[in-house]
Structure 1
Amino acid sequence: MQTGQLLKLDDLLVPGYQEKLLPLVEQKLRQNYNIRADQSLSEFGFSFPEAKFYLSDNFYLKPEGLGFFYNVYEIAPYAVGFQDIFIPYEEIQSLIKKNGLLAAELNQRD
Structure 2
Amino acid sequence: MRPIFSFICLFVLLVSCKNQDKLTFEPFILHGDACADCPEVSVSYPKALENTKLASTINTALEEETISILNFDEDIAASTPEEAIKSFKNGYLELKRLYSDETIGWEAKIEGKVIYEDNALLTVELDSYIFTGGAHGYSSKQFLNFDKTKGKELENRQLFINQDEFERFAEIKFREQEKIPMDKPINHTGFMFEKDSFYLPENIGFTEKGIQLRYNPYEVASYADGPLELTLPYEEVKKFLARRGKS
TM exceeds 0.5?
yes
Residue 210 of structure 2 contacts residue 232 of structure 2 at CA under 8 Å; is this kept in 1? yes
Which ranges in structure 1 are unaligned for 5 or more consecutive residues?
A: none
Instruction: Give yes or no for contact 1:68–1:86 (8 Å, CA) kept in 2.
Output: yes
Q: Name the CA distance, whole Å, in 2 between partners of 1:65 and 1:87.
A: 5
The structure showing larger relative contact order (alpha-carbon pairs under 8 Å, at least 6 residues apart) is 1
Higher helix share: 1
Distance 1:51 1:90 in 2: 30
Runs of 4+ in 1 over 6 A off after TM superposition: none
Under a length normalisation based on structure 1, what TM-score does the superposition of the two structures give? 0.74
Equivalent residue for 2:180, pick from 21, 30, 35: 35
Shift of 1:85: 1.1
Once the two structures are TM-superposed, the CA of residue 56 in structure 1 deviates from its matched residue by: 1.2
Q: What are the ranges of 5 or more consecutive residues in structure 2 without an aligned counterpart?
A: 1-21, 24-53, 59-151
Greater strand content: 2
Which residue in 2 is equivalent to 1:46?
191
Give me the CA root mean square deviation: 2.2
Superposed CA deviations along residues 38-95 of structure 1, whole A, max 9, x for unmatched, are 1223221112222221111211111231111101111012232211111111112212
Q: What CA distance in whole angstroms lies between the structure 1 residues aligned with 2:164 and 2:157?
A: 13
- Equivalence map 1:69-84=2 (5 Å): 69-84=214-229
1:27 Cα offset (Å): 1.7
Task: Report the residue type matching 2:157 in the other structure.
Answer: D
TM-score (norm 2): 0.36
Larger Rg: 2
* Percent pairwise identity: 28
